[in-house]
C-alpha cells in the first residue's frame, strides 16, 4: 500500500508572507507533457497593488543596508537554493519538460548565477562610480544608487534560471522588486519564494505574483509608485503588446529594460550567456555630489 503524499499549495509571496490571491482565483498548471501539476494562485491587479506597497515599504531598509550585508543575504539565498537542489530539479524538469540531467544543469547554473550576483553588491559602486576631475577646486564624485521599486516580468520559458537572472540584478544594487512569474511555468517561482523567505531576505524586498501576464502587466507598467520595469517576460506571453506596456510606463517615466529582440519580435535571451552589467545598470541612478576644497 503506497503512501499518499501531502501536496504543496502554491500561493503568492508578498511582504514576506504567503497569501492567496485576493481574487480567490487559481488556475491549472500543467507539465510540459500536459499532466496536472498544481493549482496556482491567479494573481490580480490588487495583488500587484499590494505587492508594490510591500516593495515600497521594504525599500528604505534594503537600499540602506550595507552592500556587504546585501551580498551576505544573496549568498545565503544560494546556500539555501543549493540545499533544495533535488526539489528544484524535479520541479524544473516537470515544468520545462527536461531530463533530470538537463534540469540538474539548469539548477546548478541558477545557483551559480545567484552566487555571481552576491559577489557584485559591494563592487557595483567601484565599477560604475568614480571621481570627476572638474576644472575647479571641488571634490566631485558620481555614485550609483538604486532606482527604487522595480517591476519585473519574469521569463515565460526559463522558469528558474531565467527567473533568478532577472531578479538578482535588480535587488543586488538595493532595489526592491515586484515580480510577475511565468504564466505557464509558475511553480519554481513559488518554491523560489520559499527560499527567499528562509534566507534572511527582508519581507517585501522580493514579491512574486503568479498570474496571467496579459492581465496584470499593464497595471504594473502603469503604476505610478513603480520606478522601473523589466519587460523580459513579454517574449512568449499570450496577448501582450510590449510597446503598449512601454508607453504606459512613460506615464511616470519609469526606467524600461526592453525585451531581447530577434527579427523585431521579443525573444527570451540565452540564459547561459555571461549576463554582463546591463541589468544592473538599467536600474541604478547616478548621483553626483560637489564639495569645495579649501581652508
Partner 1 sequence: MPKFEYAPAPESRAIVTIEKSYGLFIDGGFTRPKATFPTVNPADETVLAEVSQAGPEDVDKAVAAARRAYEGVWGRMSGAERGKYLFRIARILQERAREFAVLETLDNGKPIKETRDVDVPVAAAHFFYHAGWADKLEYAGLSASGADVPRPHGVVGQVIPWNFPLLMLAWKIAPALATGNTVVLKPAETTPLSALLFAEVCQQADLPAGVVNIITGDGRTGQALVEHPDVDKIAFTGSTDVGKAIARSIAGTSKKATLELGGKAANIVFDDAPLDQAVEGIVNGIFFNQGQVCCAGSRLLVQENVHDQVVAKLKRRLGTLRVGDPMDKNSDLGAINSKAQLDRITSLVEAGVAEGAERWSPECTLPAKGYWFPPTVLTGVSQTHRVATEEIFGPVLSVLTFRTPQEAVAKANNSAYGLSAGVWTEKGSRILWMADQLKAGVVWANTFNRFDPTSPFGGYKESGYGREGGRHGLEAYVTTAPSTLTGAAR
Binding site for partner 1 (CB under 8 A): 67-68, 71-72, 75, 112, 115-116, 118-123, 126-127, 137, 139, 277, 291-295
Q: Which three cell numbers stand for residue 141?
A: 564624485
Neighbours of 273 (CB within 10 A): 8
Output the smallest distance, CB 191 to partner 1, in A: 23
Q: Is the separation of the CB atoms in 284 and 144 below 8 Å?
A: yes
Residues 6+ apart with CB under 8 A from 243: none
The Cα–Cα gap between 225 and 267 comes to: 28
Output the smallest distance, CB 77 to partner 1, in A: 13
* CB of 8 or CB of 291, closer to partner 1: 291
* CB of 112 or CB of 285, closer to partner 1: 112
Output the smallest distance, CB 177 to partner 1, in A: 21
The Cα–Cα gap between 50 and 53 comes to: 5
* CB of 53 or CB of 115, closer to partner 1: 115
* CB of 18 or CB of 75, closer to partner 1: 75
- Closest C-alpha to 282, from 218, 201, 228, 224: 228
* CB of 7 or CB of 293, closer to partner 1: 293
- Closest C-alpha to 155, from 169, 166, 170, 143: 166
Output the smallest distance, CB 101 to partner 1, in A: 20
Per DSSP bridges, beta strands 260-262 and 255-257 are unpaired
Output the smallest distance, CB 125 to partner 1, in A: 8
Amino acid at each position: 500500500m503506497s503512501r499518499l503524499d501531502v501536496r504543496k499549495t502554491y500561493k503568492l509571496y508578498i511582504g514576506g508572507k504567503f497569501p492567496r490571491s485576493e481574487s480567490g482565483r487559481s488556475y491549472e498548471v500543467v507539465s510540459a507533457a500536459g499532466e496536472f501539476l498544481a493549482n496556482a494562485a491567479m494573481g490580480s491587479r490588487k495583488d500587484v497593488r499590494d505587492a508594490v506597497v510591500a516593495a515600497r515599504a521594504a525599500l528604505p531598509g534594503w537600499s540602506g543596508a550595507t552592500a556587504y550585508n546585501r551580498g551576505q543575504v544573496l549568498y545565503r539565498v544560494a546556500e539555501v537554493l543549493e540545499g533544495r537542489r533535488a526539489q528544484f530539479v524535479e520541479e524544473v524538469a516537470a515544468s520545462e519538460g527536461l531530463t533530470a540531467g538537463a534540469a540538474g544543469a539548469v539548477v546548478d547554473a541558477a545557483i551559480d548565477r545567484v552566487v555571481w550576483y552576491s559577489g557584485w553588491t559591494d563592487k557595483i559602486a567601484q565599477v560604475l562610480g568614480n571621481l570627476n576631475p572638474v576644472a575647479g577646486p571641488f571634490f566631485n564624485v558620481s555614485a550609483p544608487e538604486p532606482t527604487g521599486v522595480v517591476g519585473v516580468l519574469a521569463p515565460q520559458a526559463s522558469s528558474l534560471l531565467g527567473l533568478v537572472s532577472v531578479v538578482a540584478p535588480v535587488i543586488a544594487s538595493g532595489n526592491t522588486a515586484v515580480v510577475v512569474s511565468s504564466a505557464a511555468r509558475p511553480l519554481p517561482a513559488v518554491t523560489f519564494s520559499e527560499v527567499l523567505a528562509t534566507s534572511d531576505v527582508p519581507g517585501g524586498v522580493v514579491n512574486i505574483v503568479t498570474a496571467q501576464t496579459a492581465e496584470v502587466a499593464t497595471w504594473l507598467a502603469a503604476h505610478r509608485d513603480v520606478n522601473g520595469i523589466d519587460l523580459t517576460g513579454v517574449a512568449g506571453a499570450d496577448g501582450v503588446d510590449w510597446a503598449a506596456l512601454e508607453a504606459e510606463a512613460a506615464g511616470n517615466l519609469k526606467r524600461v529594460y526592453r525585451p531581447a529582440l530577434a527579427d523585431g519580435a521579443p525573444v527570451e535571451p540565452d540564459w547561459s550567456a555571461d549576463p554582463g552589467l546591463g541589468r544592473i545598470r538599467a536600474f541604478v541612478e547616478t548621483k553626483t555630489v560637489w564639495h569645495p576644497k579649501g581652508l
